[in-house]
Structure 1
Amino acid sequence: MDKPTIGILHPGSMGAAVAACAATNAAAVLWCLQGRSPASAARAEQAGLTPVSTLRELLDRSGIVISLCPPAAAEDLAREVAGHAFTGTYVEANAISPERAERIASLLGPAATVVDGAVVGSPPVRGKTPTLYLSGPTAATTTVEGIFAGTAVRTRALGTEVGQASALKVSYTAYQKASRVLAALATGMARQYDVDQELLEVASRRSTSYLAEPEYIPKVAARAWRWGPELEEAADTLAAAGLPPEMLRAAASALARWHGAKDDSELSVADALEQLAQP
C-alpha cells in the first residue's frame, strides 16, 4: 500500500511531536509556512517536516490532515480548510467540546471524511507515549491508526460517532486541569495561615484519584447538604486571602443539586448522576 502524504495544522509542541511520529508511516508530512512564527519553523524543522508555502498547497497534496491547534482556533481553521473544498480525511484532534467537533464535521462534510481525535498525555518525546483516541467512520479511524502503528503515539478507536473522542478528552480535562487549579488554591489558602506543610502531609496519605473511584459519587451526594456550606466557608476564606473563590462557589452550587439525597445510603452511581444532571 502506498504511504499517504499528511498535513499538520499546526506544529506546536504537541503537533510537531505527533507529526514526527506520523512521518514514520507517511510519504511526507507537510506543514504550512504562511503566518507561522520562527518558533513553529524551528519545531517543524527539528521534527523533519516538509514546508509548503500555502494552505492550498498543503491541502492539495495531503490525503490526511491533522488539526492540532489552540482549541479556540479549531473551528475557524476547519472553516478555512472547508473553503478550499478539501476531500481527504480530516483528523480534528483538538481539545474541544463534542458539539464543536460535530459542527466541524458538518462544515467539512460531505466532501471530507472527519475523524474526531483526542490526545491524552504529554507530547511523544523523551519516552512519553500519549494515546490518540479516535471516533468516526471505521475505515477512516483504521487508516489513522495505521499512520501511528509502531510509534510512540498509541491509538484507540472508541466508536463510529464524531464527538465521542472529544467527550472523553473534555471529561478527563475537567478533572485533571480543574483539580490542579484547586490544588493551587488550597495550597495558597493554607500558606496564608502557615499550614501548607501540614496540608501536604494530610494529602500525602492518599495516593489514588477520585476519578478512578466512581463508587464514591453517591457518598458525595449524600453528604452534599453539609459539604456545600463547608465549601462556601472555604470560598470566603479564599476571598479573604486575596485568592479567587469562584471555583468553590461553583462546586457548592453543584452540590445543591443533590438536595434530595441527604444521608441516602442506598443511592446508586446512576441515580446520583441523574440527580446531578437536573437543574
Structure 2
Amino acid sequence: MGAAVAACAAAHAAAVLWCPEGRGAASARRAERFGLEPVPTLRDLADRADIVLALCPPAAAEELARQVAGLGFTGVYVEANAVNPERTRRIAGLFPPGATVVDGGVIGAPPVGGSSPLLYLSGPEAGTAAVAGLFTGTAVRAEVLGPRIGQASSLKLAYAGFQKVSRVLVGLSYALAREHGVDAELLDVAGLRHDAYLAEPDAVTAAAARAWRWGPEMDEIADTLEAVGLPPELLRAAATTLERWHDVKDDAALTLPEALDRLAAPPADAGR
C-alpha cells in the first residue's frame, strides 16, 4: 500500500523518497517498481522531505514516529497507519512545535490496476490541505474530514472492524462446517443469500495471508471501542483467531483447506 500511494503523490511532488535502511528485499522491489527515490538513512529523508507519509504495520507506527520526531522533523507528518485515535494523538505529541501532524486513514485496495482508495485526513487545515493537494487528480482520492486528530483514524478502524472481522468469521464458519462434513452445503446456503463474504470462502486465504498485520489492527480497534465504553471482546477474539494464521505471512499460494487446517490447530506456543 505505502509504495503505491507514494507513487501517486509523484504527480505533484518534486521527488518521492523512501529509506531502505532496515527494510527487506520485498520492500525494495516495490519501491523500485513504483519509481521511488532511495535515500541512505532516515535522517536524510527527514532533512529533505516536506511531508512524511507513514504507512506501516500498526505495531511499528509509534516507534517510527518517535524516530522521525527525534530527528527534529518540522514538516507535515501524516500518521496514516491503522492505529486507534488515542495512539494517533499520542504520536502527534511526540513532534516538536514546528511540525504539523495530520491524522490519516486509507480505505480500499492499493491504487494499482484500476483501484482507487480513499485517503481520509483530519487535523490542522494547512496540513490536511497540503497532503490532499499531493493526490489531486490521482488514483488516491483524498478527503478532509475536519480539524480534529482522531477523526480519520476512527473512521478507518470503524470500517476495518467490519471488513476484516467478517472474513475471520467466514473462516470460522467454514472450519466448523468442515469438521461436521457440511462445508459444501454451507457454500450452497450462502449462495442463496446476500452474505457476500460467506458466499466467497476463497477470501479467507487472503485474510490468512494478511493476519500478521490484521491481528494488531484488531487490537487497535478493540482499544478504540473500549475507550468509549463499547465492548471490545469480539475484536480481541478476532485478534486471537488471526494468530493461528501468523505463520503464512503474505503466502499467495495458500489454499482454503490449508487456511482452515490452521484454524483447527492451536498455535505452536499454546500453553507455554
Same fold (TM over 0.5): yes
Query: Which of 96, 99, 103 is equivalent to 2:86?
Result: 99
1:42, distance to aligned residue in structure 2 (A)? 1.6
Report the 3-state secondary structure (helix = DSSP H, G, I; strand = E; otherwise coil) of the residue aligned with 1:25.
Answer: coil
Report the 3-state secondary structure (helix = DSSP H, G, I; strand = E; otherwise coil) of the residue aligned with 1:114.
Answer: strand
- TM-score for both structures, normalised by structure 2: 0.70
Cα distance in 2 for partners of 1:161, 1:200 equals: 44
Report the 3-state secondary structure (helix = DSSP H, G, I; strand = E; otherwise coil) of the residue aligned with 1:28.
Answer: coil
1:151 aligns with 2:138: yes
Q: Which residues of 2 match residues 53-68 of structure 1 at below 5 A?
A: 53-68=40-55
Query: Which of 19, 33, 55 is equivalent to 1:46?
Result: 33
Cα distance in 2 for partners of 1:248, 1:99 equals: 17
What letter corresponds to residue 46 of structure 1 in structure 2? R
What letter corresponds to residue 95 of structure 1 in structure 2? A
Q: Where does residue 212 of structure 1 map in the other structure?
A: none
Cα distance in 2 for partners of 1:147, 1:73 equals: 25
Cα distance in 1 for partners of 2:89, 2:235 equals: 31
Report the 3-state secondary structure (helix = DSSP H, G, I; strand = E; otherwise coil) of the residue aligned with 1:24.
Answer: coil
Q: Where does residue 201 of structure 1 map in the other structure?
A: 188
Query: Which of 81, 106, 120 is equivalent to 2:68?
Result: 81
1:20 aligns with 2:7: yes
1:33 aligns with 2:20: yes
Cα distance in 1 for partners of 2:194, 2:159 equals: 18
Moved more, 103-112 or 159-168: 103-112
Gaps spanning 5+ residues in structure 2: where?
197-232, 239-272
Report the 3-state secondary structure (helix = DSSP H, G, I; strand = E; otherwise coil) of the residue aligned with 2:94.
Answer: helix
- TM-score for both structures, normalised by structure 1: 0.69
Q: Where does residue 190 of structure 1 map in the other structure?
A: 177
Cα distance in 2 for partners of 1:61, 1:248 equals: 40
Q: Which residues of 2 match residues 91-240 of structure 1 at below 5 A?
A: 91-207=78-194
Cα distance in 1 for partners of 2:28, 2:74 equals: 27
Report the 3-state secondary structure (helix = DSSP H, G, I; strand = E; otherwise coil) of the residue aligned with 2:93.
Answer: helix
Cα distance in 2 for partners of 1:195, 1:187 equals: 9
Deviating runs (4+, > 4 A) in structure 1? 246-251
Cα distance in 1 for partners of 2:39, 2:23 equals: 11
What letter corresponds to residue 165 of structure 2 in structure 1? A
1:41, distance to aligned residue in structure 2 (A)? 1.7
1:249, distance to aligned residue in structure 2 (A)? 11
The answer to whether the 8 Å contact 2:111/2:139 transfers is yes
Residues 24 and 136 of structure 1: CA distance in aligned 2, closer, same or farther (over 3 Å): same
Q: Give the alignment's Cα RMSD to 1 decimal.
A: 2.1
What letter corresponds to residue 139 of structure 2 in structure 1? A
Bigger-Rg structure (1/2) = 1
Residues 135 and 248 of structure 1: CA distance in aligned 2, closer, same or farther (over 3 Å): closer
Show CA shifts across 1:168-200 (max 9, x none). Answer: 111111111111111100111111112122222
1:109, distance to aligned residue in structure 2 (A)? 4.3
1:164, distance to aligned residue in structure 2 (A)? 0.7
Cα distance in 1 for partners of 2:167, 2:5 equals: 25
